[in-house]
Structure 1
Amino acid sequence: MKNIALLKNLVAPLFAGLFTLPIAAAPLIDLYEALVPVADQSDAARERALKVGLEKVLIKVTGDSQVLLNTQLDGATAEARRYVTAYSYTGYRDPLTASTEGAATRAGMAINIRYSELSIDQLVRRHQLQIWPAERPLLLAWIVVDDPAAGKQFVTGEQLPNADAALSQLMSDRGVPLLRPMFDLSDSQMLSEEQAWAFDQARLTAVADRYDVDSWLILRAYRSATGQWRGAWLLNVEGEDSLHSLTTDSLPKLIAGMVTAAADKLASRYAYVPQDVARELVIQLDNINDYRAYREVTGFIESLEPVRTLAVDYVDADRVGLRVSVEGEAALLLGMLRRDSRITERLSDRPEHYRFSWRQP
C-alpha cells in the first residue's frame, strides 16, 4: 500500500522501548529431499512415492507449482528411481488429513526420499526451467481464525495444532523458510487478534521489523454457516502487497491454497532462468583487513547459486574488487548480498560497480 511508510512512521513511536530480537537466520532447507505418505512398504507403493517425491522436489527447486505441466518432464517423472540416492521409512501423522480441527490425526507411515542434487540440477538446466536459489528469505506468517465459540485466535502449536502443523508441512514442501511469531508479551502489545484480522499493516510491519524480515504473510479464516471455510490472505514482499481470497471445504485446504499461491509469488520475485551467457559485474568489498576475512567473504559469494565464476580484479589497502559472473539478473545476486547481516551497501560512483562493507564476526 502506498501509505504504508507513512503509517509505519506514525505507529513506530507506540512501540519504542519494546524488546527487539537478534537478526533471524534462515533455516537450512533441503531442496532435494521429500517426505511422501505411503499406505505400506510394498514395491508398488514405493514406486508411486518415488514419482510423487520427484515431483515435489521439482516444484521446490523451481518454485513453480505448475512446472509439472511441462511435458518435457514426463520422461523424468516416469523414471523417478534414476534420480534417487537414498530412502527410508518413518512413522508419520499427516495433518492435512484431519477432518476437523482438534481431531486426532491417524498414525501412518511415510517414506523419506533423497534425490541427487547434481541430476536434478542438470534436468532443470537442460529444460531451461527457472531456479529459485536455496538462499531464500525468511517469511514471517500468521493465521488468525474466527471461531464462533472461542472468538478470534491465532493458530499456534497449542491452539489449533492441526492447522499449525499443516502450515509448517506445506511451507517445508515448497522450500519456504517459515518464521513463526513468538506470541510473547512484546508481540501481544504490538499486534492483537483483532488487529491481525483487520490486516492492520502498520502493526504487522512493526512486528516484521522486530523479527528483521522483509516478507510476511497473514491469513484470516472462518467457517461459514454452510460449512465452507472462507479466507483472505495478504502477502507483503519487501513492501509490495498482494491480497487474495479463497473458499474450500476445510481449513488445511485453505492453508494449502494460500501456501501454493504465496510460494509461487515469492519465487517469481527471486527465481531466475539459467542463461548460456552470464553477466559480469564488479563488486568492491571494504573492511577486508586480513586473509581470514578475504576467504570468508569470497567463499560466501562463491556459494551463492547465481554465481558462475569469481575473480579478484584489484586489491587496494582494505578494499578488494571482485569480478563476478552471474546467471540471471544482477538484482538477484545484489538482493542476496543486501539481505546478509554481515554486509552493508555503500555508495558507488561507477556504473556496474557495487560497493559493500564486510562486517567480520
Structure 2
Amino acid sequence: MGRRRILHWSAGCLGLWLIAGLWGVASATAGDLYSAQTVVTGQGEDNRLGGFALCLEDVLIKVSGAYQLSGDVRLTPLKARAREFVTGFDYHDQMSGKPKHDEQGTRDRPYDLTVSFDHAKIDDVLGQLGVKPWLAPRPPVGATVAMTSGSRRFLVVSDDRQSDLQRDALRAAAGKRGLDVVLPTSAQAGSVDMDGAELPPSVLAASLPDAGVRLRGHLTWDDDALRWVSQWQLDAAGAQHRWRDSGVTFDDAFRRALGGVAQILSGNGEP
C-alpha cells in the first residue's frame, strides 16, 4: 500500500477472531462477498472480459480480507482467464432513461457491470495464494473521519450535504471490501472540536453504539504533492492499530483505508 509508517501497539489477533465470531449480524451475505461491480463502456466482449478481470481481483480481496493481494503479480495469469470463474453477470445502464445522441447507440454508454463468481473456485484460488476465505460475520465499522483542505475542515457525517461526496465514497469503499460503516450524525459531530488534534476525538467514536470496531481518520490535502495524506487508527478487541498512507483522490484514500481495516480484522496482518 505504498510508503507509510505503521505503529502497531498490540497484536490482538485472538481478539479480532472473537469479534468476528461473536458479532451477531454479518455485514454482507456470502453472495455479496462473491460478487463485485465495475464500470465498463458498452456491452462488447473485450470490455466485459476486462471488467471480469477487475472484478476477480476485487472478489479475491473481499472474500479473504487480504488487501495485500492488490496488485499481486500472481493474479495476472488468473485475471487473464477470469471468465472461467464467472457464474453470471448483469449490466445497468448509468444513462438509463436518457436518449441516445449518436450512431453508436449503446456502444459508448457507461454501464455498471456486476459479476458473480463460483464460490468453490474462488476458495480454491485463495488457497493457492496462501490465504483463506473470511466468512465469519463482519462487525460494522464506526468511522469518524476528518477532512482538511487549507483552512477548511469538516467531519464526514451521515446527514449533511457538505460531506455528501466523501460519505458516498466512504460507504462505497467499505462495500468494496465487504464491510459496513456507521457514521456520526451532524448533531453528534457538531460539538466536536479537534483543536489541532491529529485524529477525531475518541469520545465521538464511542458515541456510535452500533459499531463493532472503531476507525478514526484524518485526510489532509498536500498542495505540493497533490495528494491526500491520511492517518488512521483502528480500535478493535482492545488493540490499537495505526498507519499512514496517501492517495491522489479521497476515494482512493478511503479504498486503501478500508482495505487495511479488512486486512487487520481478517487476521491477514497490518496494512
TM-score, normalised by the number of residues in structure 1 = 0.55
Contact kept? 1:145, 1:155, Cα under 8 Å = no
1:225 Cα shift?
4.0
Aligned residues: 231
Root-mean-square deviation over aligned CA pairs: 3.2
Alignment of 1:210-359 (within 5 A): 210-211=209-210, 213-226=211-224, 227-268=226-267
Over 3 Å counting, the alpha-carbon distance change for 1:239 and 1:145 in structure 2 is: same
Q: Which residue of 1 aligns with 2:207?
A: 207
Cα offsets for 1:8-44 (capped at 9, x unmatched): xxxxxxxxxxxxxxx9944334111110111221110
Which amino acid in the other structure matches residue 146 of structure 2? V
Cα offsets for 1:28-76 (capped at 9, x unmatched): 34111110111221110001111111111111111112336373x5554
1:168 paired residue among 161, 168, 171: 171
Over 3 Å counting, the alpha-carbon distance change for 1:136 and 1:70 in structure 2 is: farther
Which amino acid in the other structure matches residue 168 of structure 2? A
1:131 paired residue among 123, 129, 133: 133
Q: Which residue of 2 aligns with 1:27?
A: 27
Alignment of 1:107-126 (within 5 A): 108-125=110-127
Over 3 Å counting, the alpha-carbon distance change for 1:136 and 1:151 in structure 2 is: closer
Contact kept? 1:153, 1:193, Cα under 8 Å = no
User: Distance in 2 between the 1:228 and 1:83 partners?
Assistant: 36
Alignment of 1:13-52 (within 5 A): 25-29=25-29, 30-52=32-54
1:152 Cα shift?
3.0
User: Distance in 2 between the 1:147 and 1:66 partners?
Assistant: 29
Q: Please say if 1:140 is aligned against 2:139.
A: no
Q: Percent identity, aligned pairs only?
A: 20
Larger RCO: Structure 1 or Structure 2 (Cα < 8 Å, ≥ 6 residues apart)? 2
1:118 Cα shift?
2.7
1:248 Cα shift?
3.3
User: Distance in 1 between the 2:59 and 2:200 partners?
Assistant: 35
Cα offsets for 1:319-346 (capped at 9, x unmatched): xxxxxxxxxxxxxxxxxxxxxxxxxxxx
Which one has a bigger Cα radius of gyration?
1
1:147 Cα shift?
4.1
Where in structure 2 are there 5+ consecutive unaligned residues? 1-7, 10-22, 96-108
Q: Which residue of 2 aligns with 1:179?
A: 182
Contact kept? 2:157, 2:189, Cα under 8 Å = no
Which amino acid in the other structure matches residue 214 of structure 2? W
SS at match of 1:246: strand
1:62 paired residue among 61, 64, 69: 64
Q: Which residue of 1 aligns with 2:192?
A: 192
User: Distance in 1 between the 2:194 and 2:144 partners?
Assistant: 13
Contact kept? 1:89, 1:109, Cα under 8 Å = yes
Contact kept? 2:146, 2:200, Cα under 8 Å = no
SS at match of 2:260: helix
Q: Which residue of 2 aligns with 1:8?
A: none
1:111 Cα shift?
0.5
User: Distance in 2 between the 1:196 and 1:241 partners?
Assistant: 21
Where in structure 1 are there 5+ consecutive unaligned residues? 3-22, 94-106, 271-361
1:85 Cα shift?
1.4
User: Distance in 2 between the 1:60 and 1:153 partners?
Assistant: 27
SS at match of 2:57: helix
SS at match of 2:139: coil
User: Distance in 2 between the 1:171 and 1:121 partners?
Assistant: 21
Q: Please say if 1:87 is aligned against 2:85.
A: no
Structure 1 residue runs of 4 or more that deviate by more than 6 Å after TM superposition: none
User: Distance in 2 between the 1:253 and 1:51 partners?
Assistant: 19
SS at match of 1:159: helix
Contact kept? 1:196, 1:204, Cα under 8 Å = no
